[in-house]
Structure 1
């Protein structure tokens, strides 16, 4: 009886340890400054085959970020507003009324791990004043 119970326990442990949780990959864009990082765009999750395939997650996020933001061109128009205007509005909803010369960066997150940099940056710096996307003036 003890051998049967021990064998059943061993099978249960093996079954639990070999059960694989579904893999998932999140994609987002963040604005960076000296004092903060704030998510300005979260894109739909992309499909990945496993939680160990970080290249697949990164590559799919690069593709999704570039597709949804016209290659991170802040002055391109999507649905009547510039990509930068969308980011300015999102920052405004978080109480940030003024952003000056800040770049947007693409990130991915795999299966609950840390956010990782995709290598994608906005083509221009982002400048916002009171919820309005404006041209940056470099000093």
Structure 2
């Protein structure tokens, strides 16, 4: 009988832990057939997983991503002395994406494990990476994002 009680107690604790609301924020580069997460912000605290929680998540993500990039500026210098764009280009090169031309970086948020949703946030400039180095985009090529 005691084992059944402990099993029920453990099940209730597991269900309670999974019901904890949480919010993820990230920046993505979009390609024709895929999205690549290039930055994940710290988790945002929210109270619920409903529409109000989603609104709080989106607002928190917009604030976090805007602050991290000075309102989507890929040429913003980060605390470690590199540009936001260089951070992204280095990340992409580490994942074998060496050349990227004319792509926007988009902000997304995820509520309680649901689908990623667009946060109405995008980079001010197009992202161009040449051999993992952040470069100014000099051509007027059409973006495939």
The TM-score bracket by the shorter chain reads 0.7 to 0.9
CA distance in 2, matches of 1:43, 1:90: 14
Query: Deviations 1:17-42 (Å, cap 9, x if unpaired)?
Result: x9581100000000012232100000
CA distance in 1, matches of 2:132, 2:101: 12
Query: Deviations 1:57-93 (Å, cap 9, x if unpaired)?
Result: 1000000000111111001101210000000001001
CA distance in 1, matches of 2:76, 2:68: 11
Show the counterpart of 1:3: none
Show the counterpart of 2:85: 84
**Unaligned residue ranges in structure 1 (runs of 5+):** 1-14
Show the counterpart of 1:37: 35
TM-score normalised over the length of structure 1: 0.84
Structure 1 residue 138, shift from structure 2 partner = 2.2
- Superposition RMSD in Å: 1.8
**Secondary structure of the structure 2 residue equivalent to 1:35:** coil
**Secondary structure of the structure 1 residue equivalent to 2:28:** strand
TM-score normalised over the length of structure 2: 0.81
Show the counterpart of 2:135: 134
Larger Rg: 1
